[in-house]
Amino acid sequence: MAYHHVESVVDQHLTQDMANYQLSRNLISVGYYVNVQTRSSIAHSHPYYEFILVRRGVCEYHSSGTRFLLHPDEMLLISPGTVHTMVCPKDSSSYERLILQVNADFMAQVLDACALGGRTPPPLYILRAEDVCRWGLRELLERVNASASVPDVPLRETLYRCQIGELMLTIENVVRTSRAAAPSVAGTLIPDVTRYILEHFRDVELNVGKVAQQFYVSREHLSRTFKSYTGESISHYITDLRMQEFRYGLVAGKSVLDACMESGFSDYSSFVKSFRKLCGITPAEYREQLKSAMNRAPLTEPAE
């Protein structure tokens, strides 16, 4: 299936400022996103609802201390304000997904109209491929995209209300029959720790000991519990966030040195060695590759 009729974006270098932008089409936006070289996103949140429908590849998402995989034809619902990170497996050639974004106020109106106003969607929800295909949700997202071309504004908004209403009623039905899954973490320690790290990872003094002190637990208990839920150490998680912040600092036009220091790294020479070991190139070489990637033409597909 070619998505020539849906706007395509390849290797988007997202920043939190970009993630905070309101929708370009006011109420609704649909796009086809492809990751080829950009293997991860910075930890971020949006002020709107986001529906991610995987079309190719498998991708790992992180949120509130939980890691989970999203497979082809599965759909992920992300509510406004939910901090999440996307990481593509190294052995994946590309990760492609159809994304629907819905204005939060407009969604509230739709939920009220569908008698779902008292049911607040969870921060994250995954719909199985079986249900996505059974209910034609991919085609529904494409119809939402087609409605953007309707010139009559009241008619276009009415179409949006009907289509988003159909989507949310379908999800409500799937949830009631227990065919959806909400990623979760037992207890509150790990979500709270993750949130704290996301807010403070730019602090050069942040380390495992400081996090443990903040939550009145031992380093050993915190490290063991964090790794059991997330599959990685706290030190690696902090370094990964700083590396992402560094990369997106370069996207914003900062120098290598400024991007390094503002990301939470305290020793520039040590950072350069670590970056080269991790990426196989120097930060300056990466910056040049990044410029080339950002100037690459958007993906185009032949018409059917």
What's the pLDDT at 295? 61
Q: Which amino acid is located at 36 in the chain? A: V
Domain boundaries, the chain: 8-181, 189-294
Long-range contacts of 71-75 (CB under 8 A, 24+ apart): 71/129, 72/129, 73/129, 73/132, 73/133, 73/138, 74/126, 74/127, 74/128, 74/129, 74/132, 75/51, 75/126, 75/127, 75/132, 75/137
Name beta bridge partners: 63. Answer: 66
**Burial of 82 (C-beta count, 10 Å sphere; 0-12/13-18/19+):** middle
Report whether CATH 3.30.750.24 matches the domain 189-294.
Answer: no
**Burial of 162 (C-beta count, 10 Å sphere; 0-12/13-18/19+):** middle
Per residue in 217-272, pLDDT tens? 889 988 888 887 666 788 988 888 888 788 878 877 888 999 999 999 988 888 88
Q: What is the reported pTM?
A: 0.69
What's the pLDDT at 60? 86
What's the pLDDT at 188? 65
Q: Which parts of the chain sit beneath pLDDT 70?
A: 1-4, 15-17, 22, 24-25, 65, 178-188, 229-231, 293-304
CATH of domain 8-181: 2.60.120.280
What's the pLDDT at 136? 95
